[in-house]
Amino acid sequence: MLFKGKEISIDEKIISSIRSLGIDMIHEAESGHPGIVLGAAPILYRLYAKHLKVNPKDPNWLDRDRFVLSAGHGSALLYATLFLAGYNIKLGDLKAFRQLNSKTPGHPEYGVTPGVDLSTGPLGQGIAASVGMAIGEEYLRNYFIKEGKPILNHYTYVFCGDGDLMEGISYEAISLAGTLKLNKLIMIYDSNQICLDGEVDQTMTENIPGRFHAMNWNVLIVEDGEDLNAFDMAIEKAKLSIDKPNLIIVNTVIGKYSKLQGTNKVHGKPLSDDDIYTIKEKMGVRGIPFVVSGDAAQSFQEMISQRVNPIYEEYQKIKETFNDSLKQKLERLEEKNTVLEDLKVSYEKPDTGSEEIRITGEKILNFLAKRNPFLIGGSADVASSTKTYLEDLKDFSFQNRLGRNIRFGVREHAMGAILNGLSLSGLRPFGSTFLAFSDYLKPAIRMAALQNLPVTYIFTHDTFKLGEDGPTHQPIEQLISLRAIPNLEVIRPADANEVIGTYKYVMAKREGPSAVILGKNQSQIQETTSIKDVQKGAYIVKKERKNLGAVLISSGEELQIAIEAAKKLEGKGYDIRVISMPSIELYQKQPMKYKESLLPLGVKTFVIEASSSYSWYEFVYNRKYLITIDQFGKSGKRDELEREFSFDIESVVKQIEDLLK
Residues numbered 15-74 forming contacts with a second copy, rule: CB under 8 A = 29, 31-32, 72
Residues 214-233 that bind a second copy (CB under 8 A): 214-216
Nearest to a second copy of 92, 310 (CB atom) = 92
Asked whether 174 and 145 are in contact (CB, 8 A), the reply is: no
- The DSSP code for 522 is B
644 scored as a contact of a second copy (CB under 8 A): yes
646 scored as a contact of a second copy (CB under 8 A): no
Count CB-CB contacts under 10 A for residue 38. 27
> Quick one: which segment of 157-165, 352-360, 366-374, 549-557 binds a second copy (CB under 8 A)?
157-165
Angle at the Cα of 207 (from 204 to 210), degrees rounded to 5? Answer: 145
The DSSP secondary structure of 580-643, one letter per residue, reads E-S-HHHHHTS-HHHHHHHS-TTSEEEEE-SS-GGGTGGGSSSGGGEE---S---SS-HHHHHH
Residue 199 among the catalytic residues: no
Q: Helix (H, G, I), strand (E, B), or coil: what is residue 201?
A: helix
440 scored as a contact of a second copy (CB under 8 A): yes
Q: What gap in Å lies between CA 543 and CA 597, rounded to an integer?
A: 12
Q: What gap in Å lies between CA 435 and CA 386, rounded to an integer?
A: 10
Count CB-CB contacts under 10 A for residue 548. 15
> Quick one: which segment of 56-64, 121-129, 130-138, 221-229 binds a second copy (CB under 8 A)?
121-129
336 scored as a contact of a second copy (CB under 8 A): no
Nearest to 462 by CA among 615, 577, 621: 615
Residues 6+ apart with CB under 8 A from 450: 109, 119, 487
Q: What gap in Å lies between CA 274 and CA 292, rounded to an integer?
A: 19
Q: Helix (H, G, I), strand (E, B), or coil: what is residue 444?
A: helix
Q: What is the contact mask toward a second copy in residues 172 to 201, using x (rule: CB under 8 A)?
A: x--xx-xx---------------xxxx--x
Contacting a second copy (CB under 8 A), which of 16, 120, 156, 521?
120
Question: Which amino acid is residue 225, in one-letter code?
Answer: G
Least separation, in Å, of the C-beta of 556 and a second copy?
18
Nearest to a second copy of 32, 493 (CB atom) = 32
Least separation, in Å, of the C-beta of 84 and a second copy?
22
Over the Cα atoms of the chain, what is R_g? 28
Sheet with 156-160, side-by-side order of all strands: 66-69, 156-160, 185-191, 246-251, 218-222
92 scored as a contact of a second copy (CB under 8 A): no
> Percent helix, strand, coil in the chain (nearest 5)?
45, 15, 40
Nearest to a second copy of 90, 624 (CB atom) = 624
Q: What gap in Å lies between CA 532 and CA 500, rounded to an integer?
A: 9
Contacting a second copy (CB under 8 A), which of 48, 143, 300, 408?
408
Count CB-CB contacts under 10 A for residue 348. 9
615 scored as a contact of a second copy (CB under 8 A): yes
Least separation, in Å, of the C-beta of 60 and a second copy?
22
207 scored as a contact of a second copy (CB under 8 A): yes
Least separation, in Å, of the C-beta of 298 and a second copy?
30
Least separation, in Å, of the C-beta of 547 and a second copy?
25
401 scored as a contact of a second copy (CB under 8 A): no
Nearest to a second copy of 232, 469 (CB atom) = 469
Asked whether 434 and 381 are in contact (CB, 8 A), the reply is: no
Least separation, in Å, of the C-beta of 248 and a second copy?
18
Residues 466-525 that bind a second copy (CB under 8 A): 467-473, 476-477, 480-481, 483-487
166 scored as a contact of a second copy (CB under 8 A): yes
CA torsion sign for 70, 72, 77, 80 is positive
Q: What gap in Å lies between CA 475 and CA 527, rounded to an integer?
A: 29
163 scored as a contact of a second copy (CB under 8 A): yes
Q: Which of 137, 138, 167, 412 is catalytic?
A: 412
Q: What gap in Å lies between CA 225 and CA 221, rounded to an integer?
A: 10
Contacting a second copy (CB under 8 A), which of 385, 528, 590, 646?
385
Least separation, in Å, of the C-beta of 13 and a second copy?
29
Contacting a second copy (CB under 8 A), which of 76, 447, 458, 494?
447
Question: Which amino acid is residue 632, in one-letter code?
Answer: F
403 scored as a contact of a second copy (CB under 8 A): no
Helix residue spans in 348-474 (DSSP H): 357-371, 383-386, 412-424, 438-450
Residues 454-473 that bind a second copy (CB under 8 A): 467-473
Nearest to a second copy of 150, 209 (CB atom) = 209
Contacting a second copy (CB under 8 A), which of 155, 171, 300, 587?
171
Residues 355-374 that bind a second copy (CB under 8 A): none
Nearest to a second copy of 13, 411 (CB atom) = 411
Question: Which amino acid is residue 643, in one-letter code?
Answer: R
# residues near a second copy by CB under 8 A: 112
Contacting a second copy (CB under 8 A), which of 100, 240, 242, 592?
100
Which residues are known catalytic residues?
412
